[in-house]
Amino acid sequence: MNKTIRVALVALLCVGAAACSKKQEVKPQPQPEPQPMTQPAPTSNKFTPADLDTDACLRQRVVYFDFDKDVIRPEFEQIMQCHAKYLQDRPMAAIRLEGHTDERGTREYNLGLGERRGNAVSNALQANGGSASQLSVISFGKEKPVCREHNEDCWAKNRRVEIIYTAK
Amino acid sequence: MKPMRKLSTSLALVLLVVAALIAGPAAAQSLNVDIVGGLKTATPIAVVPFAQAGGEPLATDVADVMRNDFNRSGKFRSLAKSEIVETPSKGADINFATWRLLKQDYMVVGRVIDAGGGSLRVEYELWDVNKQQSLLAQAFTAPVGDLRGVAHQIADQIYEKITGVRGAFWTRIAYITAVGLGNNTTYALIVADSDGYNPQVVARSRESLLSPAWSPDGRKIAYVSFESGNSAIYVQDITTGSRQLVSARSKGINGAPAWSPDGSKLALSLSYQGNPEIYVMDLASRQETRLTNNLAIDTEPRWTPDGQSIIFTSDRSGRPQLYQMPASGGGADRITFQGQFNANASISYDGKQIAMVQGNGNVYRIAIMDRSLGGQVRFISPGPIDETPSFAPNASMLLYAASEGRRGVLYAVSADGLVRQRLVLSDGDVREPAWGPYRER
């Protein structure tokens, strides 16, 4: 009796386990579904000109600098990567890097400083896969400020390199 | 006696400022005299209104132009027109007791005579009030339209007679204006009299203009224009308007032109080889010689008056400082050590003084380094964003650019920094002043 009960119980457990394992076999199927959403298929991940208007990274076209510095801050590394990737994906694309400074310092020295910033962005884009032939640098020094107040908020906005696509 | 003198002195100063303020907004080109310090060393001089014999009333008050010249120089303190109670026009008519009572050391009397054919004859006499002695008696004949020029030349002769230094009132200045905002901004290179009058447009551009530099003969101006997209250096004849493209490399900066004292060469800052370096271009052959070679920014070259050296701005030691090297190239020595930032030198005619922009923290002021005093530096402007110092050819005054709110303005300042005058030149943004050389009659 005890044996039969035991067998029956085991059988029941097995049925339950089977039922469970069947459900589990169905469940794994939805799991791979979210994966393709986060990881784009390796075959179709090249940028297109439309991405310049829609991609959150490519839409960022201004790199800001510290006073009298041409070092690219860590927060702009991602921008360097996506624009460099665009240049790689689109060999006919071209970028003009326009270097700017704040109002402090003389006009000619600031032309030099703006150029240095433009070169820093050009070098970063090349280090990330862009080609030198796709990149040109022009410095406007302090000639084209976006902000005209005499304070740090304004100066920070003016110390910049603008990434201008001359060919997409 | 002493308090009386002090009172009349301060009264004269107040009247001077008030008169300038009243005259201020009336005309677009009017001038404000801003006296920033004591004028104990300034010499009192009375310029009596010039008598006019015949002809129509003149647009130019010769005595007024001269008074402004003297006051701007810081060397003289001219008696306000309102305090001039007697108006002799000849030495024989001067009542010296009156002018001694007014504490005047010198006085000028004169008259303007119609010389026919649209010309005027301007006669003047300079008198020493205490000695009752005639120091100068001269005459100029000039077209009616050049009366301001005549007034400046008279002021120059008087300045030289009394100070022993050649006057520089009859000179011209160049500067850049920017009118409008953003993409609608238009830029102009302007040439005007040293007091800001008679502005003439030499060049216009939809893109930025900067760094005007006078040729030593005063006939041409080299400047930088972004009109073609990138910076390019032009040389323009200010009389004929004809211009030559001197440097327009598509890669890098074409900037900071400076004439050699003999006018045969231009020093430039070019970055087509990677970063800004100093070059010298022979204007006849267009041959370029590179003078500097390092990874720093080397720019703003200026020739010393003997043509043997070039002083320039470099950040090879970190922040920008002034360096000096032979004009033929070779090693450069740092010459500024006081201040975090020193740039854009202007060298006095005798090479003894170097004016520069000195930045400490967020304050940028015009400083003058006296090389005969072991590099001692004095400030002649208050900041906080002052730039582009330019010595007058006699080094008695300088021009510089300053910011007032969102616009740029020019100041003329005496070399001792005690008298400062804002030149109200234009409604727009005014910058990049360059004081021209002496003119030859």
Read off the CATH number of the domain in which B323 is found.
2.120.10.30
Partners of residue B272 in chain A, C-beta under 8 Å: none
Among B16-25, B177-186, B230-239, B391-400, the minimum mean pLDDT is found in B16-25
ipTM: 0.90
pLDDT at B34: 62
pLDDT at B400: 97
The string of pLDDT tens digits covering residues B51-96 is: 997 777 888 999 999 999 999 898 999 999 999 999 999 999 999 9
pLDDT above 70 (res B210)? yes
Strands (E), chain A: 62-64, 94-100, 135-141, 160-167
User: CB–CB of A98/A118 below 8 Å?
Assistant: yes
Give the CATH superfamily of A49-167: OmpA-like domain (3.30.1330.60)
> Taking the alpha carbons of B227, B233, B235, B239 in that order, is the dihedral positive or negative?
positive
Among A29-33, A41-45, B139-143, B160-164, the minimum mean pLDDT is found in A29-33
B364 CB near a chain A CB, below 8 Å?
yes
Q: Are residues B368 and B330 in the same domain?
A: yes
pLDDT above 60 (res A18)? no
Among B406, B365, B300, B288, residue whose Cα is nearest residue A113: B300
Q: Are residues B146 and B196 in the same domain?
A: no
Of B142, B163, B184, the position where a domain reaches its end is B163
Q: Are residues B212 and B149 in the same domain?
A: no
Q: How far is CA B383 from CA A104, B119, B322, B364, B378, in A?
A: 11, 45, 20, 5, 13
Partners of residue B343 in chain A, C-beta under 8 Å: 105-106, 109
Tell me which residue has tokens 């009030």: B129
pLDDT at A37: 45
pLDDT above 90 (res B18)? no
pLDDT at B22: 34
User: CB–CB of B69/B155 below 8 Å?
Assistant: yes
Read off the CATH number of the domain in which B84 is found.
3.40.50.10070
Q: How far is CA B274 from CA B229, B251, B277, B290, B298, in A?
A: 19, 9, 9, 13, 12
Q: How far is it, in rounded angstroms, from Cα B143 to Cα B147?
A: 7
pLDDT at B263: 98
B256 with A108: Cβ contact below 8 A:
yes
Question: Mutating which of A109, A122, A151, A158 best tests the B interface, going by the most B Cβ atoms within 10 A?
Answer: A109
SS (H, E, C) B241-308: CCEEEEECCCCCCEEEEEECCCCCEEEEEECCCCCCEEEEEECCCCCEEECCCCCCCEEEEEECCCCC
Closest residue of chain A to B322, computed from CA coordinates: A109
Question: Mutating which of B186, B254, B314, B362 best tests the A interface, going by the most A Cβ atoms within 10 A?
Answer: B362
pLDDT at A11: 43
The string of pLDDT tens digits covering residues B349-358 is: 999 999 999 9
pLDDT above 50 (res A26)? no
Of B210, B320, B359, nearest to A107 by CB-CB distance is: B210
B199 CB near a chain A CB, below 8 Å?
no
pLDDT at A15: 42
Q: Using DSSP bridges, classify how beta strands A135-141 and A94-100 pair: parallel, antiparallel or unpaired.
A: parallel
Of B252, B256, B357, nearest to A115 by CB-CB distance is: B252
Q: Using DSSP bridges, classify how beta strands B106-116 and B43-47 pair: parallel, antiparallel or unpaired.
A: parallel
Q: Are residues B176 and B320 in the same domain?
A: yes
A68 with B344: Cβ contact below 8 A:
no
CB pairs under 8 A between A and B: 83
A144 CB near a chain B CB, below 8 Å?
yes
Of B163, B187, B208, the position where a domain reaches its end is B163
| Domain extents in chain A | 2-35, 49-167
pLDDT band at B385 (very low <50, low <70, confident <90, very high): very high
Averaged pLDDT of chain B: 90
Q: Which domain holds residue B123?
A: 2-163
A105 with B364: Cβ contact below 8 A:
yes
pLDDT above 90 (res B135)? yes
pLDDT above 70 (res A43)? no
Q: Are residues B109 and B241 in the same domain?
A: no
Q: Are residues B146 and B213 in the same domain?
A: no
Of B163, B179, B214, the position where a domain reaches its end is B163
Report the number of distinct structural domains present in chain B: 2
Q: Are residues B150 and B132 in the same domain?
A: yes
Q: Are residues B383 and B399 in the same domain?
A: yes
Q: Are residues B139 and B207 in the same domain?
A: no
pLDDT band at B16 (very low <50, low <70, confident <90, very high): very low
Q: Distance (Å) from the C-alpha of residue A140 to the closest C-alpha of chain B?
A: 8
Q: Using DSSP bridges, classify how beta strands B171-179 and B429-438 pair: parallel, antiparallel or unpaired.
A: antiparallel
The string of pLDDT tens digits covering residues B281-322 is: 999 999 999 999 999 999 999 999 999 999 999 999 999 999
Partners of residue B364 in chain A, C-beta under 8 Å: 104-105
Longest pairwise C-alpha distance within chain B? 71
Among B181-190, B228-237, B256-265, the minimum mean pLDDT is found in B181-190
pLDDT band at B440 (very low <50, low <70, confident <90, very high): confident
pLDDT band at B155 (very low <50, low <70, confident <90, very high): very high
Partners of residue B384 in chain A, C-beta under 8 Å: 150
Q: Are residues B119 and B175 in the same domain?
A: no
Mean pLDDT across B219-248: 97
Task: Assign A103 to helix, strand or coil.
Answer: coil
Mean pLDDT across B234-256: 97
Q: Are residues B364 and B239 in the same domain?
A: yes
A122 CB near a chain B CB, below 8 Å?
no
Among B240, B242, B282, residue whose Cα is nearest residue B265: B282
Q: Are residues B402 and B353 in the same domain?
A: yes
